[in-house]
């Protein structure tokens, strides 16, 4: 299953819920890249400039990282979050899956208007240690700047600054929206209004999974 949506639409939060309650393997290419950057691996150094500027990592690099993940996890119920983000990535994924006699079952769009994206992301904070996501407006931590779960320090991602958010939105509209047409043509696209809020979006996704 694939979760698509503009940055800040709540894909990461939904993916976490689905992982905890429905035992999906959650694979977020954004999280993978942030981890490689933190660890200063060769791929991390290569992708850092794209991630911090809000641009897209080149398709070949993304597909290589995803292929090595699939080599170990294909066949499990996988939830892709933030991948595929371009048509070549969607085609690349279909090709690898087809070689293993597998296919994407469903692509879910969690949609959100640009103004709401900017509002949500400028107040988003993340734990440096465990990656948990907070929002200063909707879901603040109990103690300012500290993670409720692990006591780690909360920080603002560089790509959550307003100018970068606008670039990320532009990238989403130009490069990722065509992916919706790709899955719609295969009759695999489902749409959910991200403005419904965390719990109702989750219920809706669970309903779609049940129906599938």
Query: In the bound complex, what is the minimum distance in angstroms from residue 144's beta carbon to ligand AMP?
Result: 24
CB closer to ligand AMP, 30 vs 194: 30
* Exposed / middle / buried, residue 106 (Cβ in 10 Å: 0-12, 13-18, 19+): middle
- Torsions phi, psi for 27 (to 5 deg): -125, 105
Distance CA 187, CA 179 (A): 13
125 included as an active-site residue: no
Q: Which DSSP state fits 172?
A: I
Query: Other CB atoms closer than 10 Å to residue 171's CB: what's the count?
Result: 19
Sequence-distant (≥ 6) Cβ neighbours of residue 155 within 8 angstroms: 125, 126, 128
198 included as an active-site residue: no
85 included as an active-site residue: yes
User: Which of residues 56, 70, 107, 205 is near ligand AMP by CB under 6 A?
Assistant: 56
Distance CA 170, CA 141 (A): 30
128 included as an active-site residue: no
User: Which of residues 120, 132, 168, 190 is near ligand AMP by CB under 6 A?
Assistant: 168
Binding track, positions 90-129, relative to ligand AMP; x by CB under 6 A: ----------------------------------------
CB closer to ligand AMP, 27 vs 202: 27
83 binds ligand AMP (CB under 6 A): yes
Evaluate the omega torsion of the peptide bond into residue 5 and state whether it is cis, within 30 degrees of 0: no
* Exposed / middle / buried, residue 167 (Cβ in 10 Å: 0-12, 13-18, 19+): middle
User: Which of residues 37, 44, 48, 50 is near ligand AMP by CB under 6 A?
Assistant: 50
Query: Which residues have a catalytic role annotated?
Result: 11, 85, 124, 157, 168
Query: For binding to ligand AMP (CB under 6 A), which residues are involved?
Result: 7, 29-30, 33, 50-51, 54-57, 62, 82-85, 89, 159, 168
């Amino acid at each position: 299953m694939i979760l698509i949506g503009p940055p800040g639409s709540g894909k990461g939060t939904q993916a976490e819920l689905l992982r905890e309650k429905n035992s999906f393997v959650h694979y977020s290419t954004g999280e993978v890249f942030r981890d490689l950057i933190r660890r200063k691996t060769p791929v991390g150094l290569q992708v850092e400039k794209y991630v911090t500027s809000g641009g897209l990592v080149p398709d070949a690099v993304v597909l290589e990282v995803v292929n090595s993940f699939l080599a170990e996890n294909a066949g499990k119920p996988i939830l892709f979050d933030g991948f595929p983000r371009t048509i070549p990535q969607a085609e690349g994924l279909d090709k690898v899956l087809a070689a293993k006699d597998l296919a994407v079952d469903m692509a879910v769009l969690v949609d959100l208007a640009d103004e709401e994206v900017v509002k949500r992301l400028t107040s988003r904070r993340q734990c440096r240690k465990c990656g948990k996501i907070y929002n200063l407006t909707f879901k603040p931590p109990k103690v300012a700047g500290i993670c409720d779960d692990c006591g780690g320090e909360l920080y603002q991602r560089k790509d959550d600054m307003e100018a970068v958010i606008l670039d990320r939105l532009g990238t989403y509209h130009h490069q990722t929206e065509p992916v919706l047409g790709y899955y719609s043509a295969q009759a695999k696209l489902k749409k959910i209004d991200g403005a419904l809020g965390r719990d109702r979006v989750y219920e809706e996704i669970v309903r779609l999974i049940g129906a599938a």
